[in-house]
Chains A and B, each alone.
Chain A
Amino acid sequence: KQEVTQIPAALSVPEGENLVLNCSFTDSAIYNLQWFRQDPGKGLTSLLLIQSSQREQTSGRLNASLDKSSGRSTLYIAASQPGDSATYLCAVKVGQAGTALIFGKGTTLSVSS
């Protein structure tokens, strides 16, 4: 059974700092991995999607990497801003494109000005 773990559960940093969020999964046979952002009481916003054949994806100040063999992904946020404060969720899709995502519990990030 696929399990997704995110460390740390919470993180507080000063504005401007670069930071890394970690995600690990137990079954390396994934179809893709998706990172989401969730603001309190809101839905999920897709940040980056990495296909199983890819090593990394970048969008603006965000860079996500994937190492399938070790069951790990990292989300790198450069030059953090207070507006980056949110919960970041990692999710993996196992099998085919239509199967459901399995989520970690998330990392809650707080960036102070």
Chain B
Amino acid sequence: DTGVSQDPRHKITKRGQNVTFRCDPISEHNRLYWYRQTLGQGPEFLTYFQNEAQLEKSRLLSDRFSAERPKGSFSTLEIQRTEQGDSAMYLCASSLRGDIANTGELFFGEGSRLTVL
């Protein structure tokens, strides 16, 4: 399977603990996005990388959240001192800069569901 891969698929943690999610984009996709989705809502943008550079961050990304893409391939999203309000589905997407039509089409992974008790 060469789609976007996310791990773990589901994480249950206690309030105050740190959690980390990993995203492996489609091979050769240089753009990578993180979104958060709560029940009944559409995905909300968190942050965006082009290669290893973090080009855009939403104000939703508080100082407890940090994302990295150190080698321009996989990315991690860490949440420190989790709160119950962090419970959500965390979605990763990738796209290819410079595809023939420059469509900017995004391809999403299956998501990582976080439950904070």
**CB within 8 Å of A: which B44-63 residues:** 44-45, 48, 50, 55-56, 58
**CB within 8 Å of A: which B87-117 residues:** 91, 93, 95, 97, 101-111, 113
Contacts of A89 in B (CB 8 A): 42-43
Give the docked Cα–Cα distance between A42 and B43 (Å).
12
Known: A100-B48, A100-B56. A105 touches B91 (CB 8 A): no
**Nearest-Cβ distance from residue A43 to partner chain B, whole angstroms:** 4
**Nearest-Cβ distance from residue B58 to partner chain A, whole angstroms:** 8
Choose the segment among A13-21, A29-37, A66-74, A76-84 that binds chain B (4+ C-beta atoms closer than 8 Å): A29-37
Judge whether A46 and B105 touch: CB under 8 Å: yes
Residue of B6, B44, B103, B113 near A51 (CB, 8 A) is B103
**CB within 8 Å of A: which B24-49 residues:** 31, 33, 40-45, 48
Interface of A is mostly: strand
A-B contact count (CB 8 A): 70
Judge whether B109 and A105 touch: CB under 8 Å: no
Chain A contact residue count (CB 8 A cutoff): 27
Residue of B6, B33, B108, B109 near A100 (CB, 8 A) is B33
Instruction: Closest B residue to A95 by CB, please name it.
Output: B104
Known: A32-B103, A97-B102, A100-B48. A43 touches B91 (CB 8 A): yes
Give the docked Cα–Cα distance between A101 and B50 (Å).
15
Known: A32-B103, A34-B106. A98 touches B31 (CB 8 A): yes
Instruction: Closest A residue to B10 by CB, please name it.
Output: A41
Contacts of B40 in A (CB 8 A): 105
Instruction: Closest A residue to B45 by CB, please name it.
Output: A100
**CB within 8 Å of B: which A35-52 residues:** 36, 41-46, 49, 51
